[in-house]
Amino acid sequence: MQNTFRRRLAFILFAGITIWVFLWYTHDLVDKLESSNRKDCETIAWLWAGVQYPLSVVGDDLGIMSCTVCGFPTARANHSVETDSLFCVNCSETTSHIHTERLLPEERTEVIHFTRKLFGDLVTRLDFPTIFADVDNNPQIVDGGVVDGFPEGRIQEFRKRMDILSAQNDPIPIIARGDTIGHLFFGTSDLNTQMKIIPFLELGLLLLIAAVVFMFLRSEISRDKNMSWVGFARETAHQISTPLSSLMGWIELMKDDPDLDELDEALVHMNADVNRLNSIAQRYGQMGRKPKLIPMDIEQSVSEIVGYFNARKGLLGRGVELEFNQSNQEHIISGNRVLIGWVLENLIKNSIASCAGKPEGGKVIVSCDYTHTAATEIEIRVSDNGKGIPYANQGRIFQAGFTTRKGGWGLGLSLAKRIIEEYHNGSIRLLSSTPEVGTVFSILLPLKGGTNRDNNFVG
């Protein structure tokens, strides 16, 4: 159960980190998009500033003074001068100059209109609002449209928009020949606005998932705890019922026949049942606390448990045989004999239940020997020729609460896994299982030198 909780916790942490990384990535994209929008606007502002001087020259109605010798142009000082003697840079002498039109009025109007329309079309391709304004913050071009001749009320609306846009982004100055001739005000695109909302939505989603997962884990832990208590109660009743039934049977026989010939045999069995009850009490008394581990001969413990089942044929069921393949060697581990016995009993009971009702008879084999890979571990195998475990369920058998047996609580294997892995630093796994062929469970425990003189398990 604890390993399952750890796996779920690891998954939650991984999901949380993934969502947080995506949250950071989205926030970074928003910043990059804003930076890209500003660069676009700066480029347009630079271009607009770059054409201002040529436009001012084209729009100058003073015209020029042209040299009558070489035709080289010179600036015209005022409207009243039509001819004048001026120094020609090209001729390197003073020559006669005459007034010449730079462009015809129609041509000047066409050039200015074309240039403004070109920039207007460029600005309209942007997906966010823009306003070109002069140095006195008088709007000139709004979203690509020239506002010359607009009424004062409409101009005031544009100025209010400029205040809103300046609050969203700092206006970009339009600098021509070292002088600021105006500003470009720009806003935020709809896509940018939507992208800004996404990190908050993701954060909300993360918090919602965390809350749901927390509630789920809380309810699941509570459910597992309740199931554990109920399961312990049912398992305790089941464990106690067998020796109690035996004791009650012998007591009835002694009541009916005080001079019972099998009195010595009855006392032996009654003593074994009393010791069995004491063992069960010890077993459940150690649940929920870290057990004391002492050196023990694991093969001897397995032999005693198998002997207990074989001495009570009612536990085996009809037609089921239980064998123990001994290595006749001493395998010392550091363990708790009571809890190890509980694990083995559960595996054996499961195998016996799996073999029940087989027409050809069931067989359960328990073996205890060194592993094939290392002599530092002892392997206990419990195999049977029963009905097996469906393939779809084999990955879930150690989960608390999972069971395919009617009336079962699904706690035996989960508790067995906890006892072996958390308390004894070993491992328990389903080695193989084939439906209608059989099942093999394997327990690996680390070996340790020592004696078993202090163990008090009675089979």
DSSP letters spanning 320-356: EEEEEE---S--EEEE-HHHHHHHHHHHHHHHHHHHT
CATH code for the domain of 381: 3.30.565.10
**Structural domain total, the chain:** 2
300 with 153, same domain: the answer is: no
pTM reported for the whole predicted model: 0.46
Which of 188, 215, 247 is a domain's end point? 188
7 with 152, same domain: the answer is: yes
Please write the tens of the pLDDT for every residue from 433-443.
998 889 999 99
pLDDT attached to residue 452 = 38
Q: Are strands 130-134 and 294-297 parallel, antiparallel or unpaired?
A: unpaired
Return d(Cα 147, Cα 22) in angstroms, integer.
44
Return d(Cα 280, Cα 236) in angstroms, integer.
8
145 with 33, same domain: the answer is: yes
Cα-based angle 123, 127, 133 (whole degrees, multiple of 5): 40
Q: How confident is the model over 182-197, as a mean pLDDT?
A: 77
Element (H, E) at 66: strand 64-67
Please write the tens of the pLDDT for every residue from 210-239.
788 778 777 766 666 555 555 555 566 666
pLDDT at 69 over 70: yes
Residue 119, in any domain of the structure: yes
pLDDT at 392 over 80: yes
pLDDT attached to residue 1 = 46
Read off the tokens for 155. 């101009």
In the block, residue with structure tokens 């299982």: 433
171 with 41, same domain: the answer is: yes
> The domain containing residue 137 runs over which residues?
2-59+103-188
pLDDT attached to residue 442 = 94
Read off the tokens for 304. 């005693």
Q: List CB contacts of 154: < 8 A, sequence separation 6 or more.
A: 147
Which of 188, 210, 235 is a domain's end point? 188
175 with 310, same domain: the answer is: no
Please write the tens of the pLDDT for every residue from 103-156.
666 766 777 777 777 777 777 777 778 888 888 888 888 887 778 778 888 889
